[in-house]
Structure 1
């Protein structure tokens, strides 16, 4: 999901495509968050596994770090702040 949000934000910033798709993705991410006394996190869903809902992880591509990175960028974009990433991908 976060890769789709990254693309939607890139298209908005680089090509002026608007933020409608990014806004839809952010709403979807918000609706899927687990919020409790331990904080906010997202589980992974893998349709090749049973059960398909996997434990929450802190990893980049399949975990909370990547989700948060994209949500923070979207928040900066919608607040008319610097649209660049503040946290580069680990391999950059």
Structure 2
């Protein structure tokens, strides 16, 4: 059971990181050039991204109950934000 949860989390992280790194990151300079983002707002977006990683890691470290539910909630949230 724990191995299945760990592998599921690994796959989800690979997909989410792949989408973030290879789809969204190259668009930031274009958005800055187009005036949709400033350097400050791009920095804030990056900081919120890393804060999300920190909160997710902290939550995963402290999870003792409802682990599968948290995983499903996290995957659903990542899909919703990506869409």
- Which TM-score bucket, shorter chain as reference? 0.3 to 0.5
The structure carrying a bigger helix percent of its residues is: 2
The structure carrying a bigger strand percent of its residues is: 1
Task: State the TM-score, normalizing by the size of structure 2.
Answer: 0.33
Name which one, 1 or 2, has greater alpha-carbon Rg: 2
Higher relative contact order (CA closer than 8 Å, sequence separation 6+): 2
